[in-house]
Chains A and B, each alone.
Chain A
Amino acid sequence: MIQGCIRQDAKYQRMLFQQYASTFMAVCQRYANSADEAEDMLQEGFIRIFRFIHQFKFEGSFEGWMRRIMVNTALKQLQKKRINFTEIKDHHADTTQQSLEPYAYSHLGANQLMELINNLPTGYKTVFNLVVIEGYSHEEVAEMLGIQPGTSRSQLVKARKMLQNQIIALQKVAV
């Protein structure tokens, strides 16, 4: 299938798309601020994959290679809108001095988590996605986003705290 895509064969390109589109759509949704933006990211990401697939050296995971392109595409689109990494005052900061216990969030499904992450400010959300889900280090994130590693760390802490506060708030509503 990869060789077919390198030959720009539409049949294999479509197969590749059908196999990975839903996975990458979820990736794009985590970075985008709207459904339309996520679709644009996915479209642009696949176009880039097909354009640069001949550069894949068959070393490591092909899905990982594609995911990197998809994430970079998403970041590029976000950078056009200039992500704001300023600190946001958290009114609930005092409520979670200690970390959340696992039983508090173990019942959450993927869709609920997606919603909660999408409620985060763009800067928080981007750093959280890159570090926690994609597994990049703070140095790599700093290079990708053009910020200081310290900023990445602080954004992650704030993002995690805000996310946990949202989970606590959900529990209160449920109670």
Chain B
Amino acid sequence: MNDNLFDAFVKEKLQTHKAAVPADMWERIAATKEPNRRPIFIWWLAAGFLLVSLGTIAYWQWNGNSLTANENATTTDNTVAKATQPYSNNKNDNSTTKAPNQTQAIAPQTTSASATIATASNNNSSASNNSQNTSDNTKPQQNHLSIPTNNTQPSNTSAFGNSAFTVRKKSNKKIRSLATASISNATTTANLDAATFNASAYDGTIAWQRQFNNAAKLNTALDAASMIGLDCPSANGRIPKTWYIEAYTSADMAFRNLRSASSAYESYISKRDSMENSTLSYTTGVRGVIGLTNQLFLKTGVQYSQINERFSQRIENERKLTTVITIRTVVRSPGDTLRVSDTSSFETVGYITRRGNNQYRSFDIPVLLSYEWGNDNWKLGITGGAIINVYSWYKGNMLDSTLLPLLPTATHTGNLYKHNIGIGAYASMSIIKPISNTLSIFAEPYLRYNFGNISGNKAFTQRFHVAGVQLGIRYQINNH
């Protein structure tokens, strides 16, 4: 009975009891709540980035195919229209005056959205064809530019093999202007040469030689265009896309950027700096590569990264106080004995060193653009883009921000670190060595700069920047 009264008394006194709350408690709670909302923003950002990337690829794909189809439909007509005009034998004066006009008419065309150069060669010519071509040449607007190389029929085969190429609309103004400048120069030279040729009435053999020279100039222009990333359509007219798959592993070194949010945590930062040291880390992944042009590639895939740290903490383990009492008996004379005791003490402090490995792990999606150039033996490349973190987790020993407890964490550290560290920038240079038609090996020194702070509270900010060398293999999936 009395026990029940006692229990009721305690309950009455304590159930509504209130205690003082630390002034900064709300700030601490608010600080730990914020990271929960941030990943949502990160995910939206990542989704947007992927959407834009995919949209760009889709647009590129669609635009490239439509242009190619258009070219196939119009190349023959233009060849009919433009071919053989400068070398017309029965238009001595007119051809001389028309050549500059043609050059003027052609020049603006090079600024249009697309240009197709079709070359043809044949020794046969006919007056009817020439007259028809003359009338066609008076049309000032053409979407496609045809450069004649000889008197020709529409169905003639090309003197340069598959020499038609496409300059992609809106793809790269610089590339386009460079290509059109080369084409324009070649065209102008061809026309001027043709005029001179007509005026001096050379025979067909000399015309052939001159024509061959023009063809060589055009070839040079085509080579230049090819070097700056222009596509050659395949036999069926579609621009072939090159697909690769890359697998790689890298040895990394992480650089930690650890800063306290306020002076109150300076001791915490210095303590952690003295206890944690970076060791060799690694990244491994697989990514798909699509060739946007001959030299521009989009890369994306998935990769796993692990940053390793060695943790070492020296803490006081025991303190031992030893007291030594020495008792001496001094006999000064018979019957006069003096007993002397000396007391001394010393303290022994024992330390224990805790060692462990801290591991910061993450799954990421790289979205990269790469530009590559070189020859069949060696290629060089530069790559840049974003590394989007999908999920991060941690394992190891971490000091709590209160400095007091050492958290022996199994798989994660509670609110100490975030599970999504956001987006990082990626930059690299690569050297690629083809070892067969479809297989290459590559080495890629890189730098990853993380923008996100991985710390889950406001006591400190912590970022990792990683440098490493990727070694990998590249396999070409489609071989055309």
Contacts and interface: CB of A to CB of B under 8 A. Distances in A.
Nearest to A39: B22
B41 interface: no
Interface in B1-23: 1-3, 5-7, 9-11, 13-22
Interface string B123-151: 00000000000000000000000000000
Contacts of B22: 39
Nearest to A129: B14
B28 A160 contact: no
Number of chain B interface residues as a range = 20 to 34
Contacts of B37: 8
Contacts of A109: 13
Contacts of B14: 26, 30, 110, 113-114, 117, 133
B32 interface: yes
B9 A102 contact: yes
Interface in B24-44: 25-26, 28-30, 32-33, 36-37
Contact of B5 (A13, A14, A17, A102): A102
A113 B16 CA distance: 13
Contacts of A18: 26
Nearest to B5: A102
B402 interface: yes
Interface residues of A, number: 39
B404 interface: yes
B5 A26 contact: no
A100 interface: yes
A106 B1 CA distance: 16
B176 to A, nearest CB: 51
Contacts of A30: 14
Interface stretch (A42-50, A52-60, A85-93, A141-149): A42-50
Contacts of B17: 23, 26, 110, 114
A46 B31 CA distance: 12
Listed from nearest, the 10 A-B pairs whose CB atoms lie closest are A99-B2, A22-B18, A26-B19, A25-B19, A110-B17, A21-B21, A26-B17, A132-B7, A110-B13, A25-B21
Contacts of A132: 7, 10-11
Nearest to A160: B3
A38 to B, nearest CB: 8
Contacts of A108: 13
15 contacts: A17-B25, A25-B20, A26-B17, A26-B19, A36-B404, A42-B25, A43-B29, A43-B32, A47-B29, A51-B36, A98-B2, A102-B2, A113-B14, A114-B14, A133-B11
A47 B32 contact: yes
A62 interface: no
A152 interface: no
Contacts of B25: 17, 21, 39, 42-43
A33 to B, nearest CB: 12
